[in-house]
């Protein structure tokens, strides 16, 4: 009880089944357990008596003034519902893996965490394994050299499931570790599934992937293997490391400083003996639970937060395109959404629009027809995009931005939404609106300072910084941007005669600093 008072953390574990019972034990040992909950009242009563804490219904847990954090060890299909309800009731949340079964549910959980300012942690257990922590530190320090290849084997005889295939059952932990080691998301993912025992459930899965940096890897998962194997192999150009979770603790982490030299076109390998790295013994689940306690006590970001878990889910869906396509077809007919992109609830997308790799559309976003959303684009919340817009790679459209029809946003252009940002000061009520007129073009790496309006068919040169309203058809360049000429609707720079060099359309001045096509 002393720990509870010192930390201010008071946890109720919801779900006392196969894995939940281990969470109950660990949070009790950490001195922060104040209740248990389970739909099976007899099971809840059993743990209530064993750990001398009250058995609560889910509603009682949400209404409790004593409980500050909820640990959810329920079926994955319920994670979004329970997690959202808990955070809206003012509780920090720990959710067992996977975060969710659909990208929409996962995105909803992340959005709720941001809206409620409540921390959400996901139980990617092996990220807290002391051996993996040591391996990650060695990799980041450069001891293995430049990473070249990362792969894992997670094999056993069973546990055979009928609710999900072997990839979803076995691979999330491995994918979480690989993403942490590499520090980026893959650009290419290919997979092969084999259905042996059941026509529709894969018993083996082999996933190959390549990262933008050139690092390659694979994951091999099977529940039809004659013996259990749980290995993660990291290949660098200086050394190789093996995390063997089936080995005795002193031999779980081995380093091999093999050398490969070349004599002409012939490789020569000099093998080295294994060097075992000694790591202090600690139960991984205890370390994970302690991390959650620290997160709640300090209101700090978890190592495996919702964003990290969404990347894992994103990887899983990219590796399982059939499941991914099933999620999108019903919601958005005649819309192409790449399997690595994710779309929140309350998003409208017009027919013919394409959303490419690793993009995220947040809540209350409207995307028009026949738009192209490039790679690594973030849109929302509360953003409207017109028809036929082209948004190139690495662009973020945040709250307050509205694009008209036919707008072009070049790669890595920037929209701000507050004039004097500070990391530690909340200024969401000071967001300024930025409207971009029909047909406007914004060049690569340009910056649009919030609160300024871009007129129809204006042209912002690459690298320019817009700090004031821009007239229609204006050609803007420089820092700060100034008008250096006029651009036609067809995208031709106008000369002194104000005639478009592309289609011959003539323009005329209409007052100081404005032009329009003749005939309008």
List the strands of the sheet with 224-236, edge to edge: 188-194, 204-210, 216-222, 147-157, 224-236, 240-244, 253-256, 274-276
Q: Rounded to an integer, what distance in angstroms lies between the CA atom of residue 363 and that of residue 484?
A: 38
- Yes or no: say if 152 and 219 are a contact pair by the CB < 8 Å rule: yes
Confidence of residue 6 (pLDDT cuts 50, 70, 90): very low
Lowest-pLDDT range of 312-326, 410-424, 504-518: 312-326
Reduce the DSSP state of residue 43 to 3 states and report it.
Answer: helix
Is the pLDDT at 495 greater than 70, yes or no?
yes
Confidence of residue 338 (pLDDT cuts 50, 70, 90): confident
Q: Rounded to an integer, what distance in angstroms lies between the CA atom of residue 168 and that of residue 223?
A: 12
pLDDT at res. 5: 44
Is the pLDDT higher at 419 or at 308?
A: 308
pLDDT at res. 4: 46
Lowest-pLDDT range of 269-283, 308-322, 453-467: 308-322
Percent of the chain past pLDDT 90, that is, above it, reads: 74
Is the pLDDT at 512 greater than 90, yes or no?
no
pLDDT at res. 7: 62
Confidence of residue 103 (pLDDT cuts 50, 70, 90): confident
pLDDT at res. 168: 86
Q: Rounded to an integer, what distance in angstroms lies between the CA atom of residue 414 and that of residue 447?
A: 5
pLDDT at res. 124: 95
pLDDT at res. 344: 84
Q: Rounded to an integer, what distance in angstroms lies between the CA atom of residue 68 and that of residue 58?
A: 14
- Yes or no: say if 221 and 167 are a contact pair by the CB < 8 Å rule: yes
What is the C-alpha radius of gyration for the chain, rounded to an integer number of angstroms? 27
- One fold for both 2-124+285-304 and 328-517? no
Lowest-pLDDT range of 103-107, 379-383, 463-467, 488-492: 103-107
Query: Which is nearest to 193 in space by CA: 182, 181, 205, 209?
Result: 205
List the strands of the sheet with 342-343, edge to edge: 342-343, 360-361, 378-379, 396-397, 414-415, 447-448, 465-466
Confidence of residue 3 (pLDDT cuts 50, 70, 90): very low
Superfamily name with CATH number, domain 328-517:
Hexapeptide repeat proteins (2.160.10.10)
Give me the chain's average pLDDT, please. Answer: 91
Superfamily name with CATH number, domain 127-281:
Dihydrodipicolinate Reductase; domain 2 (3.30.360.10)
pLDDT at res. 266: 83
Q: Rounded to an integer, what distance in angstroms lies between the CA atom of residue 474 and that of residue 486?
A: 5
pLDDT digits (tens, 9 = 90+) for 148-205: 999 999 999 987 776 678 888 889 999 999 999 999 999 899 999 998 988 888 899 9
Is the pLDDT higher at 331 or at 244?
A: 244
Is the pLDDT higher at 510 or at 5?
A: 510
User: For the residues 275-291, what does the mean pLDDT come to?
Assistant: 96
Is the pLDDT at 82 greater than 90, yes or no?
yes
Q: What is the DSSP letter of 494?
A: P
Confidence of residue 207 (pLDDT cuts 50, 70, 90): very high
Is the pLDDT higher at 380 or at 328?
A: 380
User: For the residues 86-107, what does the mean pLDDT come to?
Assistant: 91
Q: The dihedral of CA 153, 154, 156, 158: what is its sign?
A: negative
pLDDT digits (tens, 9 = 90+) for 454-479: 999 999 999 999 999 999 999 999 99
Residue-wise DSSP of 276-345 = EPP-----HHHHHHHHHHHHHHHT---TTBHHHHHHHHHHHHHH-HHHHHHHHHTTSTT-EE-TT-EE-S
Contacts within 8 Å (CB) and 24+ apart, 79-86? 79/105, 79/109, 80/105, 80/106, 80/108, 80/109, 82/14, 82/58, 83/109, 83/112, 83/120, 84/108, 84/109, 84/112, 86/61, 86/62
Percent of the chain past pLDDT 70, that is, above it, reads: 96
pLDDT at res. 323: 64
User: For the residues 198-215, what does the mean pLDDT come to?
Assistant: 91
Residue-wise DSSP of 156-201 = EE----SSS-HHHHHSHHHHHHHHHHH-S--SEEEEEEE-SSSSSS
pLDDT at res. 340: 74
User: For the residues 371-376, what does the mean pLDDT come to?
Assistant: 94
Query: Which is nearest to 309 in space by CA: 61, 25, 74, 93?
Result: 93
Q: In the CATH hierarchy, which fold is given to the domain comprising 2-124+285-304?
A: Rossmann fold (3.40.50)
Which burial class, exposed, middle or buried, applies to 414 when counting CB atoms under 10 A from its CB (0-12, 13-18, 19+)? middle
User: For the residues 11-31, what does the mean pLDDT come to?
Assistant: 95
User: For the residues 50-74, what does the mean pLDDT come to?
Assistant: 95
pLDDT at res. 343: 85
The residue ranges of every structural domain in the chain are 2-124+285-304, 127-281, 328-517
Tell how strand 253-256 and strand 216-222 pair up. unpaired
Confidence of residue 424 (pLDDT cuts 50, 70, 90): confident
Is the pLDDT at 353 greater than 50, yes or no?
yes
User: What's the N-to-C CA distance of the chain in angstroms?
Assistant: 78
Tell how strand 474-477 and strand 465-466 pair up. unpaired
User: For the residues 324-333, what does the mean pLDDT come to?
Assistant: 59
């Amino acid at each position: 009880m002393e720990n509870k008072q010192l930390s201010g953390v008071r946890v109720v574990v919801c779900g006392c089944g196969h894995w939940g019972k281990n969470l109950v034990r660990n949070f009790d040992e950490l001195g922060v357990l104040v209740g248990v909950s389970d739909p099976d009242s007899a099971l809840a009563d059993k743990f209530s008596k064993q750990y001398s804490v009250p058995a609560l219904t889910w509603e009682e847990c949400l209404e409790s003034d004593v409980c500050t954090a909820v640990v959810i060890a329920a079926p994955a299909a319920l994670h979004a519902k329970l997690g959202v309800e808990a955070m809206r009731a003012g509780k920090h949340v720990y959710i067992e893996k996977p975060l969710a079964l659909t990208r929409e549910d996962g995105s909803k959980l992340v959005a709720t965490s941001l809206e409620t300012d409540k921390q959400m942690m996901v139980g990617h257990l092996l990220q807290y394994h002391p051996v993996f922590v040591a391996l990650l530190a060695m990799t980041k320090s450069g001891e293995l050299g430049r990473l070249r290849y990362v792969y894992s084997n997670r094999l056993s005889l069973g546990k055979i499931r009928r609710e999900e295939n072997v990839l979803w059952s076995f691979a999330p932990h491995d994918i979480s570790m690989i993403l942490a080691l590499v520090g980026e998301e893959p650009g290419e993912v290919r997979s092969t599934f084999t259905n042996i025992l059941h026509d529709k459930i894969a018993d083996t899965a082999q996933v190959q992937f390549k990262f933008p940096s050139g690092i390659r890897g694979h994951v091999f998962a099977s529940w039809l293997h004659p013996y259990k194997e749980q290995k993660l192999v990291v290949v660098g150009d200086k050394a190789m490391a093996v995390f063997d979770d089936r080995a005795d603790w002193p031999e779980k982490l081995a380093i091999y400083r093999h050398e490969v030299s070349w004599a002409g076109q012939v490789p020569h390998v000099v093998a080295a003996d294994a060097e075992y790295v000694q790591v202090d013994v600690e139960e991984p689940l205890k370390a994970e639970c302690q991390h959650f306690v620290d997160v709640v006590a300090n209101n700090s970001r978890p190592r495996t937060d919702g964003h990290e878990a969404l990347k894992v889910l994103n990887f899983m869906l990219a590796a399982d395109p059939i499941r991914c396509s099933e999620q999108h077809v019903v919601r958005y007919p005649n819309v192409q959404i790449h399997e690595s992109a994710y779309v929140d609830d309350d998003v409208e997308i017009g027919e013919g629009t394409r959303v490419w790799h690793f993009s995220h559309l947040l809540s209350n976003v409207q995307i028009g027809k026949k738009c192209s959303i490039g790679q690594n684009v973030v849109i929302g919340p509360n953003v409207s995009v017109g028809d036929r817009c082209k948004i190139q790679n690495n662009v973020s459209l945040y709250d307050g931005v509205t694009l008209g029809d036919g707008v072009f946003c070049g790669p890595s252009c920037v929209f701000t939404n507050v004039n004097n940002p500070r990391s530690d000061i909340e200024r969401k009520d000071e967001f300024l609106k930025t409207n971009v007129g029909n047909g406007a073009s914004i060049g690569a790496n340009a910056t649009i300072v919030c609160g300024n309006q871009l007129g129809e068919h204006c042209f912002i040169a690459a690298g320019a910084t817009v700090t004031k309203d821009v007239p229609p058809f204006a050609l803007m360049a420089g820092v700060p941007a100034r008008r250096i000429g006029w651009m036609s609707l067809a995208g031709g720079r106008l000369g002194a005669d104000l005639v478009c060099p592309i289609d011959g359309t003539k323009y005329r001045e209409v007052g100081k600093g404005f032009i329009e096509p003749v005939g309008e």
